[in-house]
Amino acid sequence: MRIGTTLTHYIIRNQREIAGASGTFTGLLNDVSVACKKIAALVDKGALVNVLGSAESENVQGEQQKKLDVISNEIMIEALEHNGHIAALASEEMEGIHPMTAERRGRYLLLCDPLDGSSNIDVNVSVGTIFSILRAPDDATEPTEADFLRPGTEQVAAGYCLYGPSAMMVLTTGEGVSMFTLDRDIGEFLLTRENVTIEADTKEFAINASYQRHWDDPVRRYIDECLAGEDGPRGKNFNMRWVASMVAEVHRILTRGGIFMYPCDRRIRAQGKAGKLRLMYEANPMAMIVEQAGGAATTGTQRILEIEPEELHQRVPVILGSRNEVERVTSYHG
């Protein structure tokens, strides 16, 4: 499609090829884009509109919330609850689901991390919004949490919005990955890249090295080989990156390749958790995007998209990016 096509026109054009399409899905993605534009505007203004700093509250996982965590969650709800496109919404910032009223209940379910990487917001480093879309069960009269608990292979779309030097929407509906850049002069996301692909090989990895002493042997082996450079078993030098924002990490991988790792380790297990990142709000949508771009995404032992969810805020280890590197780390776990 022509570079510069608006996100709305892009979705409408693609929906025309689907028999029985009603326009509801187009409307839903438009709602999400409106919410992301509002969040982008607040991120841009920052201290000018008093949205930085702590909210003096905790989310359902017991993590300290930033003001923009709370505000972004409210923006997502406001954008989605009035137009009849979704049956219910689930957010990393809420304990349970947010069902729509019966007269405004739509055909889809949406999960989101309204502001990923919010620890970066006060130091003006890139943050983002992640979302995942499922089809609501046809026979569901009252949406429940169980309706959301389906493997990532059942996602009908996934995406994220990166709030960086420019605001960018990255989207897949199961037919490849496209990127859109927000033109603030006209208030529209415009297509800037189609058919995004991740190179199978890379010389770049992202991991929080401060937890090295807690890593399991397979992760330690892989990172040690990378750090050994051209004198080690890999025979080449690697660069390390770490932004502490999954959106920024994945966007870099989509742009120039790489591997991102947030494994489970002894420290996380000691807290009674199976991983750090959330399956439904972070791992599943990002895994779908990465796989659609030709990459791979596993926990180290299992393809992420095939995990059968057990609860809404389930956590999992995440290893994703350039296919050959992900497969190498996974084979070390084997």
Binding-site members are 92, 113, 115-119, 208, 276, 282
Evaluate whether 315 touches 276 at the Cβ level (below 8 Å): yes
Name the binding residues for Mg(2+).
92, 113, 115-116, 282
Tokens of 31: 């709602």
Let me know the angle formed at the C-alpha of 159 by 26 and 92, rounded to the nearest 5 degrees: 110
pLDDT of residue 285: 98
pLDDT reading at 21 higher than 70 = no
C-alpha to C-alpha distance for 36 and 22, rounded to whole angstroms: 24
Report how far residue 156's alpha carbon sits from residue 246's, in angstroms, rounded to the nearest whole number.
21
How many residues in the chain?
334
Q: List the one residue out of 61, 69, 22 whose CA is nearest residue 311.
A: 61
Contacts of residues 122-125 at CB distance under 8 Å and 24 or more positions apart, as own/partner, are: 122/52, 122/53, 122/66, 124/46, 125/243, 125/244, 125/245, 125/248
What span, in angstroms and rounded, lies between the C-alpha atoms of 88 and 134?
10
Smallest Cα–Cα separation from 74: which of 126, 120, 129, 146? Answer: 129
Binding-site annotation, residues for substrate: 116-119, 208, 276
Q: Which amino acid is at 135?
A: R
Q: Which residues contact 271 (CB under 8 A, 6 or more apart)?
A: none
Residues 159-213 have pLDDT tens digits of 999 999 999 999 999 999 999 999 999 999 999 999 999 999 999 999 999 999 9
Helix-helix angle 24-45:7-15, to 10 degrees: 160
Residue type, 334: G
pLDDT at 1: 73
What confidence tier does 31 reach under pLDDT thresholds 50, 70, 90? very high
Q: Note the pLDDT of residue 59.
A: 72
Binned at pLDDT 50, 70 and 90, residue 265 comes out as very high
Ordered domains of the chain (ranges, CATH): 7-193 (3.30.540.10), 204-333 (3.40.190.80)
According to the model, what pLDDT value does residue 254 have?
98
Number of Cβ atoms within 10 Å of the Cβ of 136: 18
pLDDT at 65 over 90: no
pLDDT value at position 116? 96
Q: What is the pLDDT of residues 71-127, one digit of tens each?
A: 999 999 999 998 899 999 999 999 999 998 877 788 999 999 999 999 898 999 999
Bin 280: left if φ > 0, else alpha if -120 < ψ < 50, else beta. Answer: alpha
Report whether 329 contacts 226 (CB < 8 A): no
Both tokens of 30, joined, read 């438009």
**Alpha helices per DSSP H over 52-134:** 67-80
Of 21-30, 239-248, 265-274, 282-291, least confident by mean pLDDT is 21-30
Half-sphere exposure of 215 (CA within 13 A, CB side): 20
| Cβ atoms of 312 and 186 closer than 8 Å | no
